[in-house]
A and B are shown apart, each in its own frame.
Chain A
Amino acid sequence: MATVSYKGATRRYPGTTRNAVDKLDLEIGDGEFLVLVGPSGCGKSTSLRMLAGLEDVDEGAILIEGKDVTNLPPKDRDIAMVFQNYALYPHMTVYENMAFALKLRKTSKDEIDRRVKEAAKLLQLEEYLSRKPKALSGGQRQRVAMGRAIVREPQVFLMDEPLSNLDAKLRVQTRSQIASLQKNLGITTVYVTHDQVEAMTMGHRVAVMLDGVLQQVDTPRNLYDSPANVFVAGFIGSPAMNIKTVTLGADGARFGSMLMPLTREQVTAAGDGKVTVGFRPEDTDLVAPSEGGLPIVVDLVEELGSDAYVYGHADVNGEQERFTVRTDGRSAPSLGDTVYVKPRGAHHHVFHAETGVRIA
C-alpha cells in the first residue's frame, strides 16, 4: 500500500520529436484505484510502463510512497503488473507461475505454498494449479495473471488493459471482480484501458490523456458532469456528446432556429463570434414542433430494448450537422421522419471555440 506521484515525468522515444508522455503530474492516493484512459497512442501505456520501470523517464521523477524510484530497476520498485496478453511463463505450471516471484525473493516454501493456495482460492484456480497456461481458457489465464500479481502483495498493482483479450460477457464479469478484489486488498492500483466504460465503472478517479498530455483527472461523476475540455467531453460518455461550434449571440448559442441560452458570464468568456456547445444524447428530449426544438431528419435508429438511439442530421447555419439523441425505445421515430430536439434544462456544456477549454 502506497502513494504514487508522477512529477513532470516525460518520456521521449529516440528519433521522435513529440514526447510520448509530456510532463505528467499525477498524485495517486494510498489504496486508490486510478484508471488511465485515452485513445491509442495517447501515452497511457507508456505512463504505466514508466512507473513499472520498463520505460526510461527522460525528465521529471516518479515516486512510490515518497521514495524516488525514477532510476530503480523494476524488481526494486515492489510493484506487480498484469499484462494485456498476460505474459505467463509458458513452460511453468499455474502454481509455478504464481510462485516464481516469491521463489526469487527466497520466501520460505511453506509461505509460498500458503500464499499461492490462498490466491488460487480467491480466484477459483485451485483445480488448475498443476496445468500449463496453454491448457487454460482465456479467462483462466487472465486470473492466473491476476494471481501472480496478488501473491506478491506488492505496494502497487499495475494493469495494462488486462481485459481486452476477453470476450464481451466475460469482460463485464471480470471487471466487477477486479474492482471488488482491489477494494478488499486495498492495494493502490493503476489501470490502463482504452475503454471508457471500464474506466468509468472501475476507477475511483479517472485520468484522461491525449497525445501524451494529461487532460483531466477526476472522479467518474465529475468527468461526466463537467468535462474540462472538448476532448474529454467527447471521449467520456457513449454515444458521444453532440458537440457543435456555432454562432454566438448576445443571449446564447444559435443552432439555426433554436437558441441555447447562455449566461452573461459565459457569453463574455466565449469571446467573439463563435462558441462550442455540447449536450449529451441522454440529456436531450424529442419535443413537439411548437416547443422550439431543432428539426432533425432521422438517418438511423438503433433499438437497444430499453432505449433507442436516434441519429439524424440538421441544417445548422448552412452546414449539415449530425446529432444523436437517446429516446424511449417504445416510442422511437422512423427513418426519414423529422423530429424536434431540445437539450434538457442546464445539462449542456460550453467551451471556448478556439482553445476548447470549458467555460463554467
Chain B
Amino acid sequence: MAKKRSSTESFMTLGHIALAGWALVVIVPLLWTFASSFKTNSEIFGDAWTLPGALRWENWAYAWEHARIGKLMLNSVVVVAFSTFGTMLLGSMAAYVIARYKFPGNRFFYYFFISGLAFPVVLGLPSLFLIVRNLGQTPGIGDFLGLGTTPGLVLVYIAYSLPFTVFFLTAFFKTLPHSVAEAAMIDGASHTRLFFRVMMPMAKPGLISITIFNVIGQWNQYLLPRVLMQGRSGVEDKYVLTQGIAQISTTAGYEAHWGPLFAALTMSIIPMIVVYAFFQRQIQSGLTSGAVK
C-alpha cells in the first residue's frame, strides 16, 4: 500500500516537472518577445537574456502608426468574426444532422468531412487559389468574392475550419440524451426549433470550446491570407494582422525595425489572451465534459 502511494507520488512529481518544463517552453519566448518590443536593434542582436535599456514605447507607437496595427487588427477581427460565426452555424447544423438523423449517405458525409482533416492545406493551395480566382471572375458575385476580398477569405476560412468542427461536434451531439429531443418533439417543436431552442443550448460547452479553437486558429492563420489576399488594387487595406506583421519584416529587407516588429507581435497576441482569460472556465468544462459522466 505504502509502496503504491510512493510510486503515485513520484509519478505526480515527474508530471509536475514535465508540466513546469512545458510551461517554461511556452512562457519564455512570450516574455522574450514582450521584452524585445522595448529593445533597439542592437540590443536584440546582443545577449538575448538582457533586459531592454529603457521602456521604449516609441516602438509600440511606430508599429501602431507605420504598420497600421489598428487597421490590421480591425481587418482580422472582421474576418474572424464572420468566419467563426459561419463555421459554428454551418458546422453545428451539419454535425447535428450527422449525429442524430438516419439517412442514406450519413456515413459518407461524415467521412467526407473527416477526409478534410487528413488533407494538408499546403497541397490544396494551388487549386484553392484557382478556385477563388475563378470565383472572382464570375459575373455578379465576382467583385464580392474573388481574390483579395474579405468575404472570399471568410468563405475559405469557413471551409477550412469545418472538418474539425464537424468532427468534434458530431461526437458531442451524440452524447446528448435522446429523450430530451423526443420531449421537445412531443411538445410541438419543429426540427429547426428543436435544434436552435433545445439542442444548441444543451451543446453549449462543446460549442464554446470549438469556437475558441476556431477563433485562435483563424486569428493565427497566415498561409491562406498570404495566398488569397492579393491581385487586386488596394488589397493592402484588407490585409489581416499576420500578413501585416510579416510585411514589417519583409518590406524593409535587412533594415527591418525589429523592435516595432516585436511590439506588433505582442499587440497581436493580447486579444487572444483576453479571449482565453474570458472563456477559460467554459473551455475547461468543454474539454472535460465528454470525459465526466
Q: Write the residues of chain A forming the contact surface with B, with a CB cutoff of 8 angstroms.
A: 52-54, 73-75, 79-81, 83-85, 87-91, 100-101, 104-105, 148, 152
Interface string of B151-179 (1 = CB under 8 A from A): 00000000000000000000000000101
Contact stretch, chosen from B3-11, B21-29, B69-77, B185-193: B185-193
* Contact A100:B187 (CB < 8 A) given known A83-B179, A87-B180, A91-B202: yes
A80 touches B186 (CB 8 A): yes
B204 is an interface residue with CB less than 8 A from chain A:
yes
Chain A residue at minimum C-beta to C-beta distance from B187: A101
* Contact A75:B187 (CB < 8 A) given known A89-B198, A90-B202: yes
* Contact A89:B184 (CB < 8 A) given known A83-B179, A104-B193: yes
Chain A residue at minimum C-beta to C-beta distance from B189: A104
Main secondary structure of the interface of B (DSSP, over half): helix
Chain A residue at minimum C-beta to C-beta distance from B102: A14
B89 is an interface residue with CB less than 8 A from chain A:
no
| A79: B residues at CB distance < 8 A | 186
| B182: A residues at CB distance < 8 A | 52, 54, 74, 81, 83, 87
User: In the bound complex, what is the Cα–Cα distance between A79 and B197 (angstroms)?
Assistant: 21
* Contact A81:B180 (CB < 8 A) given known A89-B198, A91-B202, A91-B204: no
Q: Write the residues of chain B forming the contact surface with A, with a CB cutoff of 8 angstroms.
A: 177, 179-180, 182-190, 193, 197-198, 201-202, 204
| A73: B residues at CB distance < 8 A | 185
Distance to closest chain B CB from A191 (angstroms): 16
User: In the bound complex, what is the Cα–Cα distance between A174 and B56 (angstroms)?
Assistant: 74
What 5 A-B pairs have minimum CB-CB distances, sorted nearest first?
A101-B187, A87-B179, A75-B188, A91-B201, A87-B183
Distance to closest chain A CB from B130 (angstroms): 45
User: In the bound complex, what is the Cα–Cα distance between A85 and B182 (angstroms)?
Assistant: 12
User: In the bound complex, what is the Cα–Cα distance between A75 and B191 (angstroms)?
Assistant: 11
User: In the bound complex, what is the Cα–Cα distance between A337 and B183 (angstroms)?
Assistant: 56
| A89: B residues at CB distance < 8 A | 180, 183-184, 198, 201-202
Main secondary structure of the interface of A (DSSP, over half): loop
Chain A residue at minimum C-beta to C-beta distance from B204: A91
Distance to closest chain A CB from B200 (angstroms): 9
B202 touches A105 (CB 8 A): no
User: In the bound complex, what is the Cα–Cα distance between A74 and B184 (angstroms)?
Assistant: 10
A87 touches B185 (CB 8 A): no
Q: Which of B177, B186, B189 contacts A81 (CB 8 A)?
A: B186
Please name 17 pairs of A and B residues whose Cβ atoms are closer than 8 Å in the assembled complex, sorted by A: A53-B185, A74-B182, A75-B185, A75-B187, A79-B186, A81-B182, A81-B183, A81-B186, A84-B179, A87-B182, A87-B183, A89-B184, A89-B201, A100-B187, A100-B197, A101-B186, A101-B187
Contacts A90-B180, A101-B186, A101-B188 known; list 5 others, CB within 8 Å.
A81-B182, A83-B182, A89-B183, A89-B184, A89-B201
| A104: B residues at CB distance < 8 A | 187-189, 193
User: In the bound complex, what is the Cα–Cα distance between A80 and B186 (angstroms)?
Assistant: 7
* Contact A52:B186 (CB < 8 A) given known A85-B177, A87-B179, A87-B180: yes
* Contact A74:B186 (CB < 8 A) given known A89-B198, A91-B201, A104-B193: yes
Q: Which of B177, B180, B186 contacts A75 (CB 8 A)?
A: B186
User: In the bound complex, what is the Cα–Cα distance between A101 and B194 (angstroms)?
Assistant: 11
Chain B residue at minimum C-beta to C-beta distance from A83: B179
User: In the bound complex, what is the Cα–Cα distance between A278 and B182 (angstroms)?
Assistant: 43
| B201: A residues at CB distance < 8 A | 89, 91
| A74: B residues at CB distance < 8 A | 182, 185-186
User: In the bound complex, what is the Cα–Cα distance between A104 and B183 (angstroms)?
Assistant: 13
Distance to closest chain A CB from B185 (angstroms): 5
User: In the bound complex, what is the Cα–Cα distance between A294 and B198 (angstroms)?
Assistant: 63
User: In the bound complex, what is the Cα–Cα distance between A74 and B179 (angstroms)?
Assistant: 13
| A80: B residues at CB distance < 8 A | 186-187
| A90: B residues at CB distance < 8 A | 180, 202
User: In the bound complex, what is the Cα–Cα distance between A85 and B198 (angstroms)?
Assistant: 17
Distance to closest chain A CB from B172 (angstroms): 15
B179 touches A105 (CB 8 A): no
User: In the bound complex, what is the Cα–Cα distance between A161 and B177 (angstroms)?
Assistant: 17
A85 touches B187 (CB 8 A): no
Distance to closest chain B CB from A11 (angstroms): 16
User: In the bound complex, what is the Cα–Cα distance between A101 and B184 (angstroms)?
Assistant: 8
Distance to closest chain A CB from B113 (angstroms): 26
Distance to closest chain B CB from A112 (angstroms): 13
User: In the bound complex, what is the Cα–Cα distance between A63 and B205 (angstroms)?
Assistant: 42
